[in-house]
Chains A and B, each alone.
Chain A
Amino acid sequence: SSELTQDPAVSVALGQTVRITCQGDSLRSYYASWYQQKPGQAPVVVIYGKNNRPSGIPDRFSGSSSGNSASLTITGAQAEDAADYYCQSRDSSDNHVLFGGGTKLTVL
């Protein structure tokens, strides 16, 4: 099916590592991109492609994929990483866009 599934909420202790996952059939063919959205702000891409970080994104953010699953890992989570995270890809059969439902990350 043409959907991306994310856990609604995840928490992590300050300084620890957290993995946010995204599942969907399209991920077998296409990489997921990941967006961070803080309250009242537009989303910002933090990972795209196999594991690429735009300029200005800390190297504690990394991405990986396997089969129909993609993950965003934050190694050494900081308080400022608390946000909503969305995965995004494209449909396998056409050029349509897919967004996951989003994961709310809480840093304890």
Chain B
Amino acid sequence: QLHLQESGPGLVKPSETLSLNCTVSGGSVNNSPYYWAWIRQPPGKGLEWIGIIHYSGTTYYNPSLRSRVGLSVDTSKNQFSLTLSSVTAADTAVYYCARRIMMVRDNWFDPWGQGTLVIVSS
């Protein structure tokens, strides 16, 4: 059974860069049909997708975050990563990683990691 686990600092200072990893177990990040995603949820608010990456390097970013987001895949560690630069308090959120499954008319996220809370504060 595929399992995803986020890791990284829980506290980041304003203007600095947030970096998170998602370790995949029970499967491989270089399993071709799948994409890997980062999604976040500010406290008390809804879900916001950040970006998606395929192990080949193909990426898609939320236009509202594109200028600050970087995604990468490390097949040797079976993990994928997120960087978000120039963070502000508005970036405080629970960050989730997830696998994206895509079909012709369908796409969904399953499974999700448990999420990690990142607080932006000095």
B-binding residues in A (CB < 8 A): 29-31, 33, 35, 42-45, 48-50, 54, 86, 88-90, 94-97, 99-102
Contact = CB atoms under 8 A, between A and B. Distances in A.
Give the bracket for the number of chain B residues in contact with chain A: 20 to 34
24 contacts: A29-B105, A30-B105, A31-B105, A33-B109, A35-B109, A42-B114, A49-B105, A86-B46, A86-B47, A88-B47, A88-B108, A88-B109, A89-B107, A94-B60, A95-B60, A96-B63, A97-B37, A97-B49, A97-B60, A99-B46, A99-B48, A100-B46, A101-B46, A102-B46
B90 interface: no
B62 interface: yes
Contacts, number: 65
A99 B108 CA distance: 11
Contacts of A44: 112
B52 interface: yes
